[in-house]
Chains A and B, each alone.
Chain A
């Protein structure tokens, strides 16, 4: 025991002795033009190469030797700043970067310092996202991510999102740290994130730090802009399907600012107009909107408050009137998110940064049908409503210990209330709930600790652990989720890395094959349905060449347990006094793959080429005789090319011009379809009756038994970006230039000639013009 104490005291002495040689430089890096803090900006001491990057609040902390230090501060799209600072004591500073001129802004797509390069993590510049050609000109963060290796889309045109073999709910979508449960508009045609209001998009596909929990595959962290603290400004954005407005400005100059962003589709207006012209008694429509509000207030150099609100809603409706009826009947489906958060940043010391977040987030999905009953002259209504409500308090802290350690720790306490589905019928003699399934609270307590340890110039270790305790009615679940990543650097340009992350997901998303309505159903962990868990292993290599090219190769294996799916024959829940738990199977998943990416980060021509080889499968005891079968998001090969060429600037020209080309070539995804028919066993007591008229069944040997034809399309866009601060900008785009008919679905149809097979293809050759005005 004495020996242990002796060794500990020596180690502690060494640590403190090493601290005494250094002082801590900490602070914030912000945009000089707007006062907004910059996420992921890097600061490097040029002589030693020591450096760090800002966290999600623009805060950094760096241990440097006493005396003069030459610092280089940079961020994508901003002019690099170099300055000398004489450090004698721990110092807190605010550094500002000026947005670069256009050339620098667009030519430097992502100039990463090797310190900040993290394999298994992708950050996209919002400027880049806005230039990418997309469907109907709506800048789409999620679709842009489909061009990354390891991210597989679902059906053509939709924002299905599968990362490294996970299902869409295995990715956690965070907007300013708030979970967003419905990330799509228009059944997935557009993402629910309005690109005009965003500052940063980062996708973690592997090596998930311990500070992230509650998902099996990946985390998409989206950060909203803070709002201009210097002056009032705004943007108007008009595309063929939607319009959006962003207004921002100081509430108190250099101290507090706000940003309000709203977007709404006019698809319903177009449809209404068409129906009026045709004079139809049946009218149907669809609309969506989203609204972002963010306010921040810098109380003093050590304290800052943020309040954010996000609201989005999709609505599908129809009204019709029967002949001779006095009133019309109608149905309405609507679903969406509402999230509100308050965050408090506090700097305890130059090395100790902390954030406390309190948020409320909810997802609602309602379907209401109202019918007018002529015989009793009353309206009757049926209603189905599923809800998820989430109250969470969490703390996140980070502390720099010497020059070698950056430690983060935190706690998350949450109460989630689920109403998986409830149906209600109101009629003359009946006013009752016919379904009221497993409702109730799920309490969770999670805590994490992670440390980045820079052993020496070559080796670094990121180690962490996350502990979670879930309490549900009649059951408790504990889990310990270790995370480990070891990096080895050779020189300034080569990095090897291997990582392992164990993760747990305490809720499931049940999705049906039907696209006709939103059937997303978030369900909790229960006594019968255990939390899903996974292990993600990866081995990566990164090579930076001539400060222009980045190459990366990543291999992974992803093992999943307790993943759920509807049992066969269940498409979505209907009215019955039974639990959704009766309708799901629990099983296993596995995925593995190799991802290669070459990225050109500087010059007039920038972009990347990526290729993924992957395989993803599922296994359930009661499906396919317990054998593995393909996962619907499995695409064996996927090649993406995305490029942007910036034309040389002409002084007389009002616009900066750029041209983008995107190309996708991928193996088709899987669907279920019968390739053979077989004679069916009869229904009971139905011999020689009408009910037995189906004499055959499709023979589907296992779910997802058919791979669709190869999927590919070429998209182009031409951007005219106003060079002045105010004025119009334009994006002209064509999605699917050569009108490739990528099937969304394949099905058989019985005709007089026999059975024919048909496919539906969406979005062949979609031109668009997008206009935006900055003021």
Chain B
């Protein structure tokens, strides 16, 4: 009995002193932190408007919505030439009607009285070349084909959205696929996880990312299967099931932002359970004088509709 007590004591002591340590609450003195202007605008090739959201950072302890900036002067430039001023709508949104052209360079400048100029710039990627999306006969495997543009650096992101499924398909509310399975070696592994229970070894969270290194000018074929979070086989009993499969070509800014965001999300989730083992990461921003993102992309997408009837 004595030995057991000594043993337990030793184990507890080791864990307590070495591994568990002490967790305590801290309150950081953030009075010296002045708010920073946040500019977010994602341009899509061939869209007829540009939307810019201007907000402010807030102290980590502050509750409530992010403060919006309603008195900014927001200007749009194309290839260094002034296009026009964006008009304020509401909740920090500024909009200008303008047809976004691929391969052009757009700059958004935000001027808030009494503050230095804040700006970000993006070059809109060219449309996807020879793109097509098909399904196999079982409607399970999604086959994506396109040709890489030799003349520019491309960052391709692939995924699908589908009808939300709350008993019956909800065609108004779309969800992004949570897990994408592929046996292709083209996707970047940054969001990849291994799952030995699957026939296909590689599984990715939300998107497949393909960088065009070594693919210059080549025809690309990439197929994947998707599944929703928590469901291996999702088949509604009845109703119309809608899914949109897409291939995106992002500019470098959007690509870097997404990568850092997804890795960061993974780490924030992990930090909740094992804070000692993880540290927060810097999220990419290309905004000068503030933070946020001015980025762009072009898209190829296909809509798939399946109709299910109740089986006997």
**A residues engaging B (CB < 8 A)?**
189, 241, 267, 270-271, 273-274, 277, 369, 371, 373, 375, 380, 382, 425, 427, 430, 434, 513-516, 568-571, 574-578, 582, 623, 625, 671-686, 688-691, 694, 696-703, 741, 743-750, 754-764, 766
- For A694, list chain B residues within 8 Å (CB): 261, 265, 268
- For A696, list chain B residues within 8 Å (CB): 66
B282 near A568: Cβ-Cβ < 8 Å:
yes
Let me know if B77 is at the binding interface, CB within 8 A. no
Chain A residue with the shortest CB-CB distance to B15? A274
- For A757, list chain B residues within 8 Å (CB): 25-28, 60
- For A750, list chain B residues within 8 Å (CB): 272
- For B53, list chain A residues within 8 Å (CB): 679
- For A763, list chain B residues within 8 Å (CB): 17-18, 21
Query: Given A675-B60, A679-B40, is A274 in contact with B11 using a C-beta cutoff of 8 Å?
Result: yes
Which residues of chain B from 191 to 228 have any CB-CB distance to chain A below 8 Å in the complex?
A: 192, 194, 196-197, 201, 206, 213
A747 to B292, CA, bound (A): 22
Residue in A373, A625, A685 whose CB lies within 8 Å of B161: A685
Let me know if B22 is at the binding interface, CB within 8 A. yes
- For A746, list chain B residues within 8 Å (CB): 26, 28
CB distance from B45 to the nearest CB of A (A): 13
- For A754, list chain B residues within 8 Å (CB): 61, 63
- For B244, list chain A residues within 8 Å (CB): 685
Chain B residue with the shortest CB-CB distance to A574? B189
CB distance from A426 to the nearest CB of B (A): 11
Let me know if B190 is at the binding interface, CB within 8 A. yes
B246 near A685: Cβ-Cβ < 8 Å:
yes
**B residues engaging A (CB < 8 A)?**
4, 7-8, 10-12, 14-15, 17-18, 21-28, 30, 33, 35-36, 38, 40-42, 53, 55-61, 63, 66, 157, 159, 161, 173-176, 178, 185, 188-190, 192, 194, 196-197, 201, 206, 213, 229, 244, 246, 248, 250, 254, 256-261, 263-265, 267-268, 271-272, 274-284, 288, 291-293, 295, 297, 299
- For B274, list chain A residues within 8 Å (CB): 516
Could you list some 20 contacts between A and B, CB below 8 A? A274-B12, A569-B256, A569-B281, A570-B263, A571-B267, A571-B281, A574-B189, A675-B28, A677-B60, A680-B40, A681-B40, A683-B176, A689-B176, A694-B265, A700-B280, A701-B36, A702-B282, A757-B26, A762-B18, A766-B17
A747 to B280, CA, bound (A): 8
A673 near B280: Cβ-Cβ < 8 Å:
yes
A513 to B229, CA, bound (A): 29
Given A274-B12, A571-B267, A675-B30, 11 extra CB contacts under 8 A: A273-B11, A277-B4, A514-B277, A568-B282, A574-B189, A672-B280, A677-B60, A744-B21, A745-B275, A760-B22, A761-B21
A677 near B57: Cβ-Cβ < 8 Å:
yes
A141 to B277, CA, bound (A): 26
- For B185, list chain A residues within 8 Å (CB): 434, 576-577
B276 near A744: Cβ-Cβ < 8 Å:
yes
Query: Given A683-B261, A684-B248, A747-B275, is A277 in contact with B7 using a C-beta cutoff of 8 Å?
Result: yes
CB distance from A160 to the nearest CB of B (A): 14
- For A685, list chain B residues within 8 Å (CB): 159, 161, 176, 244, 246, 248, 299
- For B24, list chain A residues within 8 Å (CB): 741, 758-759, 761
- For B18, list chain A residues within 8 Å (CB): 189, 762-763
A688 to B173, CA, bound (A): 7
Counting chain B CB atoms within 10 Å of each CB, which of A382, A697, A702 scores highest?
A697
CB distance from B179 to the nearest CB of A (A): 12
Query: Given A274-B8, A763-B21, is A568 in contact with B284 using a C-beta cutoff of 8 Å?
Result: yes
A721 to B272, CA, bound (A): 47
Residue in B11, B61, B258, B261 whose CB lies within 8 Å of A755: B61
A756 near B22: Cβ-Cβ < 8 Å:
no
Counting chain A CB atoms within 10 Å of each CB, which of B8, B174, B277, B279 scores highest?
B279
B194 near A425: Cβ-Cβ < 8 Å:
yes
A301 to B207, CA, bound (A): 72
Query: Given A568-B284, A697-B264, is A578 in contact with B176 using a C-beta cutoff of 8 Å?
Result: no
A686 to B11, CA, bound (A): 48
- For B297, list chain A residues within 8 Å (CB): 684
Counting chain B CB atoms within 10 Å of each CB, which of A699, A762, A766 scores highest?
A699
Query: Given A681-B257, A683-B258, A760-B276, is A689 in contact with B175 using a C-beta cutoff of 8 Å?
Result: yes
B157 near A267: Cβ-Cβ < 8 Å:
no
Query: Given A681-B292, A749-B272, is A676 in contact with B21 using a C-beta cutoff of 8 Å?
Result: no
CB distance from A664 to the nearest CB of B (A): 18
A672 near B28: Cβ-Cβ < 8 Å:
no
Chain B residue with the shortest CB-CB distance to A763? B17
- For B272, list chain A residues within 8 Å (CB): 749-750
- The list of the 3 closest CB pairs from A to B, nearest first, reads A274-B11, A516-B277, A513-B279
